[in-house]
């Protein structure tokens, strides 16, 4: 495969110009570098108003042919995946492209033997072990649609996702490690499956040795895999066939199953991976995300493997056995590109810098950041102590919905600017809008929007195209609306200022406030609740829940503990509010709408900045909330 990256500012500028003048030819040129069984007959068909977006129409491919088979000709013995276990005392694994190909084909045959076929949905609820990447690719091999659910989600959240996609098979494990904790994944799956009817089989990977209950439809992964060989032809997929569903939070209680398709997603993840990180042959690349999130899909599995890279998977956490674990792993595997989240950097920054300095980080060439705005202090700590002021930092802005990085510098090729994601990638037409939807020129603050499709944009929400239209294409007709605000400087650099909707990013995880409120409202003492985000020095944002109860509360501590547990059970521990405040009322407009803007200020304790509260239905609650906060 040709090197897809622009290695100089000149070639970058040339590409950018070309992409604006001839967007279709620009993408067609890039797409030609992949293996297609038959080429497309039309590059793009789109209508943002409908909305309908299709790329490489009529093209036939299988993404695993591109991620695996073609590398067997050029570099079969190169390591594809390095697996670093949770516990440093356990051995790392090195899986070559040849071996990965064989294991994916075998897993694909295992799925087929259990009835899976093209178009079926398969849920992956697994720890960060190589078998998760293998499962992802095995689904893609046979054209089954994978729906990975982050292993930190609760049984209720898992059940909702399985039911929404009507998955027929669940792949899970007995358990997964996270630092000194073991998550009982099979047990949680069992609990979820009590509320699901579509699932016919559960295939369980033995990983931690945790004792599990056994049900009629359960099968051990090792038993099933032993029955099949590793010969599995790739299913021929249409460019626009779904590749996977991945759920993300929205403004209502129901998560949105974003649907990504085969052709465009492959082209864009490979292109963006190669360009942003400036990956070079032989480099070791490490993204610390979990494959349960989009970052793991695009930049642990598909993007890196599509270009034949060596990608590192880590099961553990940055704090175990100590806060130097990331740097130990970087030194051990001589990592060249390191990609993590600001929340991890902020957590590590609180510990002695000797934990960084004692590891040899001289292999590092590029550092990356993703998931939330990176604050100035964290940026500089990352630059000084990890990069030793010698590694470009790519601050990559994108979303589950965009499939790949849309705004970022290209490491060492285009300028960086602390706290700025900087410039849109070639091929991405970003704009700023004012509240009326007019494009704003030059330096300004506004609403970020994209005015032309790119290949990896999600095509729909599973089972709910109307919602897809309403959330992303209705507020500003003619544009894709991501839900983020941004600031643009005189050089066209973008700084993402945060969400402009009811999604709060806590430790890099997108959390809708609505599902958390729904969970709180389930408690028999709670009448109404409102959840907002407030600034937090490690998590970026934390959650403040205001709850109204139907009786006087003698012991608020007990209620608070019960409510936190309820949220953990309904969504997952990541969604537990930091603060829960019992109040007698919530600030409301005369039409009864909760004034979240005011609640956000109250939660942030910005009391001088509340604005006019006199028009509220119940201005007196403001004082009360301030008093007992
Ligand atoms: C936020 C993660 C500032 C943003 C890939 C977006 C960012 C949401 C950045 C998507 C960044 C992501 N700077 N904010 N570099 N990257 N975000 O779907 O609000 O988990 O809309 O995708 O994260 O989160 P998601």
What pLDDT digit, counting tens, does each position of 368-421 carry? Answer: 999 999 999 999 999 999 999 999 999 999 999 999 999 999 999 999 999 999
Is 253 contained in some domain?
Answer: no
341 Cα–ligand 1 center, Å: 10
In short, whether 61's Cβ falls inside 6 Å of ligand 1 is no
Last residue of a domain, one of 219, 235, 251: 235
Say yes or no to pLDDT of 101 above 80. yes
C-alpha 62/C-alpha 65 separation (Å) is 5
* Residue 92 sits in the same domain as residue 209: yes
Q: Does one domain contain both 32 and 76?
A: no
Burial classification of residue 412, based on how many CB atoms lie within 10 Å of its CB (0-12 exposed, 13-18 middle, 19 or more buried): middle
317 and 401 inside one domain: yes
331, part of any domain: yes
Do 94 and 153 sit in the same domain of this protein?
A: yes
Question: CATH number for the domain including 544?
Answer: 3.30.300.30
pLDDT beyond 80 at 252? no
Best probe residue, ligand 1, of 244, 287, 302, 397 (max atoms within 8 Å of C-beta): 397
Q: How far apart are alpha carbons 366 and 274 in whole angstroms? A: 12
- Judge if 273 and 301 occupy the same domain: yes
The whole-number pLDDT of residue 591 equals 74
CB 595 within 8 A of CB 587: yes
126 domain residue, yes or no: yes
- The residue from 462, 478, 494 where one domain ends is 478
Considering the domain architecture, whether residues 464 and 514 belong to the same structural domain is answered as no
Using only the alpha carbons of the chain, give its radius of gyration: 24
- Backbone φ and ψ for 204, nearest 5 degrees, come out as -115, 120
Tokens at residue 418, please?
């602390």
Mark whether 284 and 211 lie in a shared domain: no
Q: Give the three-class secondary structure for 187.
A: helix
As a whole number, mean pLDDT of residues 173-200 equals 97
Question: Is the dihedral angle over the CA atoms 531, 535, 537, 539 positive or is it negative?
Answer: positive
**Structural domain contains residue 458:** yes
Ligand 1 site, residue 395, Cβ cutoff 6 A:
yes
The CA distance from 44 to 66, in Å, is 21
DSSP state of 320: S
> Rounded distance, CA 69 to CA 102, Å?
10
Contacts of 492 (CB under 8 A, 6+ apart): 423
d(CA 566, CA 474): 34
Cβ pair 374, 396 in contact under 8 A: no
Please indicate, yes or no, if residue 498 is contained in any of the structural domains: no
The predicted pLDDT at position 447 comes to 96
Distance CA 413, CA 3 (A): 15
Neighbour-count burial of 371, counting CB atoms closer than 10 A to its CB (0-12 exposed, 13-18 middle, 19+ buried): buried
Tokens 């990977």, located at residue: 205
Please write the tens of the pLDDT for every residue from 208-248.
Answer: 999 999 999 999 999 999 999 999 999 999 999 999 999 99
Which protein residue's CA is at the shortest distance from atom 5 of ligand 1? Answer: 399
- The whole-number pLDDT of residue 1 equals 66
Q: Residue 247 falls within a domain, yes or no?
A: no
Q: Which atom of ligand 1 is nearest to the CA of 405?
A: 5
Mean local confidence (pLDDT), 438-462:
96
pLDDT-derived band at 254, boundaries 50, 70, 90: confident
What residues pair up with 430 in beta bridges, in sequence order? 450
Between the CA of 107 and the centroid of ligand 1 the distance, in Å, is 32
For the domain that residue 200 is a member of, what is the CATH number? 3.40.50.12780
pLDDT confidence of residue 502: 86
Domain assignment present for residue 489? The answer is: no
pLDDT digits 0-9 by tens, 506-562? 999 999 998 899 999 999 999 999 999 999 999 999 999 999 999 999 999 999 999
In whole angstroms, give the CA distance from residue 447 to residue 289.
Answer: 27
Ligand 1: residue of 342, 406, 505 to mutate (most ligand atoms within 8 A of CB) is: 505
460 and 514, same domain (yes or no):
no
- Whether 462 and 402 map to the same domain: the answer is yes
Mark whether 24 and 87 lie in a shared domain.
no
Phi/psi of residue 95, each to 5°? -110, 120
Choose the residue to mutate in 406, 510, 512, 541 for probing ligand 1, maximizing ligand atoms within 8 Å of C-beta.
510
Mean pLDDT, residues 326-332: 98
Domain that holds residue 119: 63-235
Closest-lying ligand 1 atom to the alpha carbon of residue 407: 15
Read off φ and ψ for residue 420, nearest 5 degrees: -110, 135
SS (H, E, C) 509-530: EEEEHHHHHHHHHCCCCEEEEE
Tokens of 528: 């109404």
To which residue do tokens 């793991």 refer? 296
Measured CA to CA, the distance from residue 131 to residue 313 in angstroms comes to 11
Residue-wise pLDDT tens digits, 266-297? 999 999 999 999 999 999 999 999 999 999 99
Instruction: With beta carbons less than 8 A apart as the criterion, state whether 171 and 203 touch.
Output: yes
DSSP state of 452: S
Q: Quick one: CA dihedral 60, 64, 66, 71, positive or negative? A: negative
Using an 8 Å Cβ cutoff, are 485 and 496 in contact?
A: yes
User: Is there a single domain that holds both residue 298 and residue 411?
Assistant: yes
Q: How many domains does the chain have?
A: 3
Please indicate, yes or no, whether residues 336 and 421 belong to a single structural domain of this protein: yes
Residue partners of 468: CB distance under 8 A and separation at least 6: 51, 256, 458, 460, 461
In a domain, 43, yes or no: yes
């Amino acid at each position: 495969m040709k090197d897809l990256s622009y290695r100089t500012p000149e070639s970058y500028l040339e590409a950018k110009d070309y992409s604006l003048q001839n967007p279709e030819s620009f993408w067609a040129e890039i797409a030609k570098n992949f293996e297609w069984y038959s080429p497309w007959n039309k590059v793009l068909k789109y209508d943002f108003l409908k909305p309908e977006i299709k790329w490489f129409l009529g093209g036939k491919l299988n993404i695993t042919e591109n991620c695996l088979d073609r590398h067997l000709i050029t570099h079969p013995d190169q390591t594809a995946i390095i697996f670093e276990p949770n516990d440093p005392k356990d051995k790392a694994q090195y899986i070559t492209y040849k071996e990965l190909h064989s294991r994916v084909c075998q897993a694909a045959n295992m799925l087929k033997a259990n009835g899976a076929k093209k178009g079926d949905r398969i849920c992956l609820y697994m720890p960060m072990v190589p078998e998760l990447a293998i499962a992802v690719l095995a689904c893609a091999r046979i054209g089954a649609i994978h729906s990975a659910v982050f292993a930190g989600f609760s049984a209720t959240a898992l059940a909702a996702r399985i039911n929404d996609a009507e998955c027929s098979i669940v792949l899970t494990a007995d358990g997964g490690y996270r630092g000194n904790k073991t998550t009982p994944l099979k047990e949680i799956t069992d609990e979820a499956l009590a509320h699901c009817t579509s699932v016919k089989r559960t295939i369980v990977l033995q990983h931690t040795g945790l004792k599990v209950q056994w049900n009629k439809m359960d099968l051990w992964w090792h038993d099933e895999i032993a029955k099949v060989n590793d010969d599995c032809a790739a299913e021929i997929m249409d460019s626009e066939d779904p590749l996977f569903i991945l759920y993300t939070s929205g403004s209502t209680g129901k998560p949105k199953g974003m649907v990504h398709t085969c052709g465009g997603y492959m082209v864009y993840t490979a292109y963006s991976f190669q360009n942003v990180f400036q990956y070079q042959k032989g480099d070791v690349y490490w993204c610390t995300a979990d494959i349960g999130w989009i970052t793991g899909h695009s930049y642990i599995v598909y993007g890196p493997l599509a270009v034949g890279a060596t990608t590192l998977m880590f099961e553990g956490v940055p704090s175990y056995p100590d806060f130097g674990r990331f740097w130990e792993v970087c030194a051990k595997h001589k990592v060249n590109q390191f990609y993590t989240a600001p929340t991890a950097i902020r957590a590590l920054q609180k510990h002695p810098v000797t934990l960084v300095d004692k590891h040899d980080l001289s292999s590092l060439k590029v550092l990356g950041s993703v998931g939330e705005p990176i604050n100035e202090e964290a940026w500089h700590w990352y630059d000084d102590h990890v990069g030793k002021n010698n590694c470009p930092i790519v601050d990559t802005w994108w979303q589950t919905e965009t499939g790949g990085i849309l705004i970022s510098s290209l490491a060492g090729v285009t300028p960086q600017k602390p706290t700025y994601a900087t410039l849109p990638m070639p091929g991405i037409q970003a704009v700023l809008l004012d509240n009326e939807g007019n494009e704003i020129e030059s330096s300004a603050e506004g609403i970020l929007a994209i005015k032309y499709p790119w290949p990896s944009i999600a095509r729909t929400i599973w089972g709910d195209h109307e919602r897809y239209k309403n959330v992303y294409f209705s507020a500003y007709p003619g544009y894709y609306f991501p839900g983020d605000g941004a600031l643009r400087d005189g050089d066209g650099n973008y700084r993402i200022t945060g969400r402009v909707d009811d999604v709060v990013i806590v430790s890099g995880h997108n959390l809708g406030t609505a599902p958390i409120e729904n969970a709180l409202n389930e408690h028999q003492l709670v009448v109404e609740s409102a959840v907002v985000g407030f600034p937090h020095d490690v998590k970026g944002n934390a959650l403040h829940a205001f709850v109204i109860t139907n009786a006087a509360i003698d012991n608020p501590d007990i209620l608070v503990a019960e409510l936190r547990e309820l949220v953990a059970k309904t969504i997952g521990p990541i969604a537990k509010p930091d603060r829960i405040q019992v109040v007698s009322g919530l600030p409301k407009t005369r039409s009864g709408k909760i004034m979240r803007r005011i609640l956000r200020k109250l939660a942030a304790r910005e009391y001088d900045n509340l604005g006019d509260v006199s028009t509220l239905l119940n201005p007196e609650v403001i004082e009360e909330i301030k008093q007992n906060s």
